Amino acid sequence: MPSVPLKRRLAAIMATDVVGYSRLMESDEETTLALVKAIHSDVVEPNIERNGGRIFKLIGDGTLSVFDSVTGAVECAMAIQRELADGTGEGARPAIRIGINLADVLVDGSDMFGDGVNVASRIEANALPGGICVTDGVYHQIATRLGAKFVAGGEKRLKNIERPVRVWHWQPRRTGPIPAAHSLANEATSSRSAEKVLVRVASSSSSFSGDIAGLASSSIEQFLSERRWIDVAPTSAPEMSIRAHDYTVSIVVHGAGPFRLSVRFASTTATSILWSRAFDLPADCQMDAIESVAAEIVSLVVDKVLQVSSKAVATKPESSWSAYENFLCGRMLDAKHLLWEAERFFERAAQLDPGLIEAHTMHAIALTHTFSMEGTPERLQRAGDVSRIALRLDLCAVLCRAGSVDDAKL
């Protein structure tokens, strides 16, 4: 019997993936699966259908979909990320990454195969959380048509792909607070949020460097929000009350290429500047260079926040310190490579506020560090117990933000 020739078609392939999925699955598989299904049914699937696409494969927390139009694929991805960034729908949801590739693919019934599908899956991992990563072919098809500003990400070596792949990045502009372990939307009723360090991010630029400013500030916001003991918000967010530990990082981008980023960090309520520094980027700067500068800025911000905030806390009697103040003191000692001294402050913070995830996490790390120095098995066992508490609290926080779990069930 003669073999049936394989069908081929030119198509835009879009891959999506939920950020932090493995961590959530480790804590609770059933509830995490329910959360992922809700994200797909409420946000991902409706946008794919509206933009003329079709999901042809579900892979754990991810989807693979096909579009006849590359414009439709990119517009779909942008709609998904804007909806998640703006908090549209039933509460905030975890971020997702999206990758899009335009390629000639093999068609087998309703499924798609080939190198083009693999590339879409691989470049998705290069996207920033909440962002989109597209290949060079996609970018040149839609750059002028959509008017969206993409930034070059350079050539990437992808797993099991022989040739390097040039990629481009896009990130939505946020209009509200950055989702973190504790939603800023509940600030009025949350004494814990009111006490947390808040870093506001402001950026300005000429019309020639607006995309650089936007991606730099988005990267800074994302890297800061990964420090879950810090709340982050763009200065364009709705009016927020001043906190005890309240700071602003301001970025001004000069030039049309090469670029200079003038960065200042200050207390929001004070006129004095805590530090200022200039960073240079080449005219053909790529996403890796922007992320590298953003990471350096965040490192300087975190160091100064710990220094200034812990100094303010130290003016009060230690017996009066709140859970968060104990936590800040512990983080400062950790930054000075005194983790064994920080252990008691993390433990005290967790005792004062059993719901403070970061205190449990750092207490477990400190216990593990002490075990490595002393070799006491009880320390390691205790570290495992505390880690499981932190994982459970972390999962509950994510599910509550997504509206998937009732507070009464926690």
**Does 176 reside within a domain?**
no
Please check whether residue 170 is in contact with residue 161, taking contact to mean a CB–CB distance below 8 angstroms. no
Return the SS3 of 56.
Answer: strand
- Least confident range from 26-30, 42-46, 90-94, 225-229: namely 90-94
Q: Name the residue with tokens 């205190």.
A: 359
The residues pairing with 102 across neighbouring beta strands, listed in sequence order, are 12
Q: What is the mean pLDDT of residues 326-341?
A: 92
Confidence at 401, pLDDT banded by 50, 70, 90: low
Q: Classify residue 52: in a domain, yes or no.
A: yes
Q: Are residues 43 and 189 in the same domain?
A: no
* 53 shares its domain with 98: yes
pLDDT band of 404, cuts 50, 70, 90: very low
Task: Kindly tell me if the per-residue pLDDT of 197 is higher than 80.
Answer: yes
User: What pLDDT does 265 receive?
Assistant: 95
User: Among the residues of 226-317, which ranges form H helices?
Assistant: 287-313
In this prediction, residue 214 carries a pLDDT of: 79
Statement to judge: residues 206 and 297 lie in one domain = yes
For the CA atoms of 267, 297, 174, 392, the dihedral, rounded to the nearest 10 degrees, stands at: -90
The answer to whether 295 and 311 have CB atoms below 8 angstroms apart is no
Instruction: Give the residue, 383 or 404, on which the prediction is more confident.
Output: 383
The region of weakest confidence among 172-186, 272-286, 329-343, 369-383 is 172-186
Q: Count how many domains the chain has.
A: 3
Question: Is residue 376 situated within a structural domain?
Answer: yes
Please indicate, yes or no, if residue 175 is contained in any of the structural domains. no
Classify residue 177: in a domain, yes or no. Answer: no
Closest CA to 358 of 167, 122, 192: 192
pLDDT at 87: 61
Q: Determine which of 40-49, 252-261, 334-343 has the lowest per-residue pLDDT on average.
A: 252-261
The length of the chain in residues reads: 410
For 144, residues 6+ apart whose C-beta sits below 8 A from its C-beta are: none
What letter would DSSP give residue 43?
I
Nearest to 261 by CA among 218, 221, 290: 290
Q: pLDDT tens digits for 54-92?
A: 999 888 788 999 999 999 999 999 999 988 877 644 444
Same domain, 109 and 22: yes
| pLDDT at site 179 | 47
Share of the chain above pLDDT 70, in %: 85
Separation between Cα atoms, residue 49 and residue 26, nearest integer Å: 31
Single residue among 291, 309, 327 that ends a domain in this structure: 309
Neighbours of 5 (CB within 10 A): 6
> What CATH code is carried by the domain that includes residue 384?
1.25.40
Residue 1 is assigned to a structural domain of this protein = no
Domain harbouring 213, CATH code: 3.40.50.10610
The reply to whether 189 and 257 lie within a common domain is yes
Same domain, 161 and 261: no
Burial level of 316, CB count in 10 A (0-12/13-18/19+)?
A: exposed
Domain assignment present for residue 24? The answer is yes
Q: Note whether 301 and 330 are same-domain residues.
A: no
What pLDDT was estimated at residue 236?
61
For residue 6, the Cα-to-chain-centroid distance in whole angstroms is 40
Give residue 385's domain range: 318-409
* Domain end (from 283, 309, 335): 309
Per-residue tokens: 120: 């879409």
- Output the average pLDDT for the chain: 82
Asked if residue 178 belongs to a domain, the reply is: no
Q: What is the pLDDT of residues 260-295, one digit of tens each?
A: 899 999 998 877 899 999 999 887 777 778 888 999
Task: Check pLDDT > 70 for residue 189.
Answer: no
Task: Taking residues 4-25, report their average pLDDT.
Answer: 82
Supply the pLDDT for residue 183. Answer: 37
SS3 at position 401:
helix
Q: Check residues 1 and 232 and name the one with the higher pLDDT.
A: 232
Give the Cα separation of 266 and 273 in Å (integer).
5
Q: Which of 322, 107, 90, 118 is nearest to 229 (CA)?
A: 322
What pLDDT sits at residue 149? Answer: 76
User: Could you count the other beta carbons within 10 Å of the beta carbon of residue 8?
Assistant: 11
Same domain, 328 and 305: no
Query: Could you tell me if 349 and 287 lie in one domain?
Result: no
Question: In terms of pTM, does the model score above 0.85?
Answer: no
Whether 343 and 302 map to the same domain: the answer is no
| Contact (Cβ atoms closer than 8 angstroms) between residue 363 and residue 386 | yes
Using CA atoms, how far apart are residues 352 and 318, in angstroms rounded to an integer?
A: 13
Counting residues of the chain whose pLDDT is more than 90, the rounded percentage is: 33
68 and 26, same structural domain?
yes
Residue 224 and residue 356 share a domain? no
